Structure 1
Amino acid sequence: MKKILSLVLVSALGGTLTLGAYKLFLEKENKVVVAPTETKPNFLPTKSVNSLLNTNETPNFTVAAENTVHAVVHVKNMTLSSGQMTFEDLFFGRRSQRAQLGTGSGVIINADGYIITNNHVIDNAHELSVTLNNNTTYKAELIGTDPKTDIALLKIDADEDLPYATFGDSDQAKIGEWVLAVGNPFNLTSTVTAGIISAKSRDLTGKSSQSFIQTDAAVNPGNSGGALVNTNGELIGINTAISSQTGSYIGYSFAVPSNIARKVIEDIMEYGNVQNGVLGIKGGTFNNTAAEEIGINYTEGVYVGEVIKNSGAEKAGIKKGDVIKKLDNIEVSKFEDLSGYIKTKRPNDVVTVELLRNNTLKTLPVTLSKTEMFSINFMKMELKDLSDSFKETYNIDYGVMVKETQNQWLYSNLGISEGYIITGINDIKIESIEDISKLKEKYGDDIQENIKRLAYINKRKEKKEVIFR
C-alpha cells in the first residue's frame, strides 16, 4: 500500500514540474486587454454631467428679490362688525360694534406713494394703514376699486420718494418662466417664494370671465395684493387667490396679470372708474366634439357664435362662424385669452383682429364699444337686450333681460331676479334698452313710484302682468 501512494505522489510531482517548465520557457506571451465601456445614463438629458455643476446657469433671484421687497408693503384693514348683543344692548336699544383686523399685501407703483392691492384686502375698511419694509407705518387713503378684477388703489403721503416696482409686460410672460411671489403671509413680512408660471389665461369661475396667471410659487393668506415678479424684478402680476381645500397653499396660486392691473389703476386715477371696452361677440373655445359638429378640423381659437348688434365687431364685418386667432398679433387659443386681452383696452381703442373664415385668414380693425351700449342700470337692476338666438330659441319677440338685480322690493313681491324678462311698463312696449333709457329720462330715479303696470316673463317662460293700485 505504501508503494502505491509513493508512486502516485511521484507521478503528480513530475507532471507539475513538466507543466511549469513549458509555461516558463516554451509558451508565447499573450496579453489580455479589457476595453473600457462608456456608460450613458438615460436619466440625464445633458451633454455632460459637468453642466449640472455650472452654477452660472442656475437662476439667480437675489437682485429681483432685493429690489422687490422694498416696494411691497403690509396692508392692515380695520373693519367694524356687530358683536354679540348683550342684555344691556337690548335694554338700551343699541348695537355693539367691535373692531376686526385683516391683513394683506400691496405694491408701491410710483415714488409718490400710490399702492396697488386687491379689492378683497381693503373691502369694508373703516381704517387702512400701510407698513413699509423699513417698519414705517402710514395711514392710507382708498382712491378707488374694481371688484370685477379684484384690484384696488391706495395712496400714502410720505416725506420722501418711495421705492417702487416697475411694470412688466404680462402678455410676454412665458409658461415655464421663473417668477417670485413677494408678500406678507401669516403676518410674516417681506417673504419671498419662487416658482414657475404654470399656465396663463386661467379662469376660476367657469364663465370665461377671468384671466389669471397660474404659478406654483407658494402663496398663502396675507400674500393677497403682493407682487409677482420675473427674474428682472419687473411686476407681471398681483397675487390674488390660491387653489386650496384647507385655506392654505397646496400647490397653485393665481395672479391678476400686470397689464390688466395697470389699466385698471390708470382708469381709476384718470377717470375715477374703470373704462371697459367690448369687442361685441359671443362665442367659446373649441373642443374636438364642438369642432366636428361645426364641420371644422381645428380646435384652437375663439368661435364666434353671435355678433352683437351695433357693436364694433358688427361694424367691422365680423360674422357668425368666424374663428378669431389673434388680437394685435397676440395668439388667441381660448376665450380666456380674448377676454383677458380686451380687459387691457378701453372704449374706442382699435384692436386688429385676425380671423379664419372659410379657411381664409382675414385681418379686420375693430373699434371697441362701451359696455353701456349693451346694458343699462334701471331700478337697481342691470338690464340687457335679448340676443337673436335667445329670441329664436324661446319664441320671444321682444323684451330686456335682468342681468343682475339688487331690487329687494321687486324680488320680494314678484320674484323678479336674474333671468326674468321685462316686456312692458305702464303700457309701454319694452323692445330694447333704448326704451328703458327713455323711461329714465322721463321719470328719473322715481320710476318705481310711477309704475302702474308691469309685464314680464319669468324663468319658466310664463308671461305675467301685474297692475299696481
Structure 2
Amino acid sequence: MYPKNIRLSKLKSWNQKKFLLSTAITIGIVYPANVISKPLINPKLNENNKSFITKAVEKTGSSVVTIETQKYVKKRQFPSDSQIFLDPYFERFFGLDLPRDNQPSIEQSQGSGFIFADGLVMTNAHVVSGSDMVIVGLTNGKKLKGKVIGQDFFTDIALIKIEGKGPWPKANLGDSTKIKVGDWAIAVGNPFGLENTVTLGIISNLKRNVTQLGI
C-alpha cells in the first residue's frame, strides 16, 4: 500500500501528462486545417497567370469562322403518263413520299474554318463539296458570301474566298515539320454552330497512313 499523499501525487502527474497529450493532439489536428484553408495562390489573375491555352485562344480565336453551305438537289421525276406512281395507294403500299412539284430540295451543312490571309479561309473539303452557296460567319456576327476557289480531297482541305472587304482577323500558319509526338494540340472551332469551342489534346503520331484505319 502506498501512502495516500503519494497516490494523489501520481494521479495528479498522470492527469497533467494526459492533458498535455490531448492538447498536443488537438493542436496537431487544428493547426494544419488552418494552414490548408489559406489560399496558396492569389485568386486575382493577371497576364502572367494565364495558361498557354488561354493565350492561344485569345490570339487566334477571332480568326475562326463558321461555314454554312447549301446544296440544291433535284427531285426525281416520273413520266407524265406514269400516273400510277402518283397514286396515293401506290405510295402508301411501298412507303414512298414522292414529290408533287418540280422544286429542288435544299440540303444544308455546317463546318468550321479559319482566316489565314486577306479574305482567304481554310476549311475541310468535305464541308463545301458540291455546295451551291457558301456563307462565312465571323465572330462579330457578320455573315458574308464565300466562293470555293480550291479543293484537295486527298488532304480534305479547301480554300474559300470571302466576298467582301477587310480588314480580317488572321491566324498564322505553322510549320508542320517542327511538330513532334507529344506536342500539345489546341483545337478551336464551331461544332454545331457553338462558336469558339476549345478542346485540348496531344499529337499522338506523325505521318500515319489513314488506310491503316480502313478510311
The reply to whether residue 137 of structure 1 matches residue 143 of structure 2 is: yes
The reply to whether residue 13 of structure 1 matches residue 30 of structure 2 is: no
RMSD: 3.7
Count of aligned positions = 167
Q: 2:106 corresponds to which residue? A: 99
Taking the TM superposition and a 5 Å limit, the aligned residue runs for 1:167-316 are 167-206=173-212
Are residues 62 and 205 of structure 1, via their aligned partners in 2, closer, same or farther at CA, if it must alter by over 3 Å? Answer: same
Secondary structure (helix, strand or coil) at the match of 1:206 reads helix
Q: Using the TM superposition, give the Cα deviation of residue 58 of structure 1 relative to its aligned residue in structure 2, in angstroms.
A: 7.7
Q: 1:66 corresponds to which residue? A: 58
Q: Is the CA contact 1:80–1:126 (under 8 Å) kept in the aligned structure 2? A: yes
Secondary structure (helix, strand or coil) at the match of 1:120 reads helix
Q: Is the CA contact 1:119–1:147 (under 8 Å) kept in the aligned structure 2? A: yes
Q: 1:81 corresponds to which residue? A: 73
Q: Using the TM superposition, give the Cα deviation of residue 83 of structure 1 relative to its aligned residue in structure 2, in angstroms.
A: 4.4
* Structure 1 stretch displaced more, 84-93 or 151-160: 84-93
1 or 2, which has the higher strand percentage?
A: 1
Q: 1:458 corresponds to which residue? A: none
Query: CA separation in 2, counterparts of 1:133 and 1:97?
Result: 32
Are residues 162 and 156 of structure 1, via their aligned partners in 2, closer, same or farther at CA, if it must alter by over 3 Å? Answer: same
Q: 1:268 corresponds to which residue? A: none
Q: Is the CA contact 1:89–1:96 (under 8 Å) kept in the aligned structure 2? A: no
* Structure 1 stretch displaced more, 91-100 or 160-169: 91-100
Q: Is the CA contact 2:188–2:197 (under 8 Å) kept in the aligned structure 1? A: yes
1:290-340 Cα distance to aligned partner (Å, 9 max, x none): xxxxxxxxxxxxxxxxxxxxxxxxxxxxxxxxxxxxxxxxxxxxxxxxxxx
Q: 2:27 corresponds to which residue? A: none
Q: Using the TM superposition, give the Cα deviation of residue 124 of structure 1 relative to its aligned residue in structure 2, in angstroms.
A: 0.9
Query: CA separation in 2, counterparts of 1:161 and 1:17?
Result: 97
Q: Using the TM superposition, give the Cα deviation of residue 67 of structure 1 relative to its aligned residue in structure 2, in angstroms.
A: 2.2
Q: Is the CA contact 2:147–2:163 (under 8 Å) kept in the aligned structure 1? A: no
Structure 2: give runs of 5+ residues left out of the alignment: 14-39, 87-99
Q: Using the TM superposition, give the Cα deviation of residue 90 of structure 1 relative to its aligned residue in structure 2, in angstroms.
A: 6.1
Question: Which of 112, 122, 133 lines up with 1:127 in the alignment?
Answer: 133
Q: Using the TM superposition, give the Cα deviation of residue 161 of structure 1 relative to its aligned residue in structure 2, in angstroms.
A: 1.7
Query: CA separation in 2, counterparts of 1:192 and 1:89?
Result: 57
Q: 2:116 corresponds to which residue? A: 109
What's the TM-score, normalizing by structure 1? 0.31
Higher relative contact order (CA 8 A, sep 6+): 2
Q: Percent identity?
A: 34
Q: Is the CA contact 2:121–2:159 (under 8 Å) kept in the aligned structure 1? A: yes
Query: CA separation in 1, counterparts of 2:120 and 2:127?
Result: 16
Q: 1:157 corresponds to which residue? A: 163
